[in-house]
């Protein structure tokens, strides 16, 4: 567990500049709203110094440790409940337990994500919060107590299902079509069962990347909605973004599709498509290693 969490911290710190730029663009920060992705990446260090790219990263680092612990503990707990109470076993109960564990970890650590977003949106010289503890105290005191930390939770939870579903469905479809229509070109015999065809590794990576890109594209408007709602009173138009539906309508009405609902999407492709490609490829290789084909 510690090694997994430390690896997660390193990975998140590596992409922290991309995360900060994405938050600034998604919510149209007035200092950078006229810029694109790469020009914002260049403008932030000039205006706020190199460490400006890492604003909010401390809260993210703190979040990784409880997130992983809660996810693993709740996964085992849900797995037992689903097996004993519902009588469901096999791949289905692992999928259900994994989804529920992911949602539980998100809900439990959501306040840290909220604080991270608030800190990342601040620009040098205009700080509302002096740090993580001050942000917690201020949000609790001025935004309705404990519930103030859960603005934007609904689009977060709703967005998890289509993302996972679309990515798995797309990968499975691409794999099936590829092996059916071009088995010699795209496939090879599985190492654990020569009678079963599997995708070649580079084709696996390609299919995983495509699946991740499509899933990101479909669920991205909910990510933008979540960020807007999380920022709440920090934004001048916060009273128009109190619910998920109102926020979606507001973003679409004022900024349209490309510069509103999909602003910053290219950063998500850079961040998530390679990781999805590797994740699906690792999954397929582990199936062979564990003789599951």
Print pLDDT tens along the chain (293 aa): 565 567 667 777 888 899 999 999 999 999 998 998 999 999 999 999 999 999 999 999 999 888 878 887 888 888 888 888 777 766 667 777 877 888 898 999 999 999 999 999 999 888 899 999 999 999 999 998 999 999 999 999 988 877 777 888 888 889 888 888 888 888 888 877 778 788 888 888 898 889 889 989 999 999 999 999 999 888 988 888 889 999 999 999 999 999 999 999 999 888 888 878 887 788 778 777 777 76
pLDDT at 91: 63
Q: How many CB atoms lie within 10 A of CB 97?
A: 21
pLDDT at 150: 95
Angle at Cα 260 formed by Cα 244 and Cα 238, nearest 5°? 45
Distance in angstroms (rounded) separating the CA atoms of residues 156 and 281? 26
282 pairs with which residues across the strands? none
Helix (H, G, I), strand (E, B) or coil at 197: strand
Gyration radius of the chain's alpha carbons: 21
pLDDT at 2: 61
Over the range 231-241, which residues count as b (16 or more CB within 10 Å of their CB) and which as e? bbeebeebebb
Instruction: Give φ, ψ of 102 to 5 degrees.
Output: -60, -45
Tell me which residue has tokens 């498509």. Answer: 273
Instruction: Give φ, ψ of 187 to 5 degrees.
Output: -110, 170
pLDDT at 212: 87
pLDDT at 117: 96
pLDDT at 148: 92
Angle at Cα 64 formed by Cα 216 and Cα 260, nearest 5°? 30
pLDDT at 4: 58
List the domain boundaries for the chain: 1-159+224-290
Q: Which two tokens stand for residue 292?
A: 């599951």
Helix (H, G, I), strand (E, B) or coil at 182: coil
Q: What is the CATH number of domain 1-159+224-290?
A: 1.50.40.10
Distance in angstroms (rounded) separating the CA atoms of residues 165 and 154? 18
Q: How many CB atoms lie within 10 A of CB 216?
A: 20
Angle at Cα 36 formed by Cα 35 and Cα 41, nearest 5°? 90
Distance in angstroms (rounded) separating the CA atoms of residues 223 and 162? 12
């Amino acid at each position: 567990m510690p090694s997994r969490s430390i690896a997660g911290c390193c990975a998140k710190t590596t992409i922290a500049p991309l995360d900060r730029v994405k938050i600034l663009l998604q919510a149209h920060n007035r200092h950078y709203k006229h810029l694109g992705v790469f020009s914002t990446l260049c403008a932030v260090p000039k205006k706020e110094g190199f460490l400006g790219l890492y604003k909010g990263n401390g809260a993210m680092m703190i979040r990784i440790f409880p997130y992983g612990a809660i996810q693993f503990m709740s996964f085992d707990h849900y797995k037992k409940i689903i097996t004993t109470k519902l009588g469901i076993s096999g791949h289905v109960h692992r999928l259900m337990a994994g989804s529920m564990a992911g949602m539980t970890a998100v809900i439990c650590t959501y306040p840290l994500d909220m604080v991270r977003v608030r800190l990342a949106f601040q620009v040098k010289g205009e700080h509302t919060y002096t740090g993580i503890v001050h942000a917690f105290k201020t949000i609790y005191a001025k935004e309705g107590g404990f519930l103030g930390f859960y603005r934007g939770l609904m689009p977060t939870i709703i967005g998890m299902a289509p993302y996972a579903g679309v990515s798995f469905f797309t990968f499975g479809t691409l794999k099936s079509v590829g092996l059916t229509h071009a088995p010699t070109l795209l496939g090879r015999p599985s190492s654990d069962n020569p009678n079963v065809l599997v995708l070649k590794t580079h084709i696996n990576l390609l299919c995983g990347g495509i699946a991740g890109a499509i899933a990101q594209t479909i669920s991205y408007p909910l990510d933008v909605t979540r960020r807007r709602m999380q920022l709440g009173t920090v934004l001048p138009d916060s009273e128009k973004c109190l619910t998920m539906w109102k926020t979606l309508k507001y973003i679409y009405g004022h900024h349209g599709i490309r510069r509103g609902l999909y602003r910053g999407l290219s950063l998500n492709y850079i961040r998530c498509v390679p990781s999805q490609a590797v994740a699906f490829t690792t999954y397929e290789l582990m199936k062979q290693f564990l003789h599951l084909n």
